[in-house]
Structure 1
Amino acid sequence: MDEHTDTMKKIILASLQQSVKSRVVTPIRQASSLPAGLNPRGSIAAPFTPFKDNGDVDFSLIPTHIEYLKRLSVPSLFVNGTTGEGLSLTTQERKKITEAWLDNKAHFEHMIFHIGAGNLRDSQELAAHSESVKVDAIACISPSYFKPQRVEDLVEYMRQVAEAAPNTPFYLYDINFMTQVYLSNPEFLELAQSKIPTLVGIKHSSPELNSLMRCHVMDNEKYQILLGSDDTMLPALSMGITNSVPSCFMAPLHNKIREDFTKGDMKAAQHTQLQCMEIAAIRAKYASGAGLFVASRAMMKMLGCDLGPPRLPLVPMEPSKYQSLEAELRQCGFLDILS
Structure 2
Amino acid sequence: MNKYNGLLSAVSSQYHILRGKQETELDWKTRLVYSICGLMAYAALWDESEEPISIVHLKRRIRSMLDSYKSMYPELSGSLPSSSEELEDEITNQFLNVGVVYHSPYRIAPSMKREEPFGGILFQRGIALDDISCVSGIGFYSKREEETSSDRIKAMFGLEPENLQRLWHTILSAASWKSNSAFEHNTEYLRLKQPFSDRYWMPEPDKTGVVSILRTGMRGAQLYYLYRYTNTTLEVSQLPQWRVESHNYRALACACLSAYGTLPPIEYFEDGTLVHIRMNYLLPPRELEFLKYYSWPEICSTSRWQYNFRRKLSADVFTAIKNVLSDEGYKFKGVVI
TM-score normalised by length of structure 2 = 0.27
Give 1 or 2 for the bigger CA radius of gyration.
2
Which structure's residues are more often helix, by fraction? 1
Which structure's residues are more often strand, by fraction? 2
TM-score normalised by length of structure 1 = 0.27
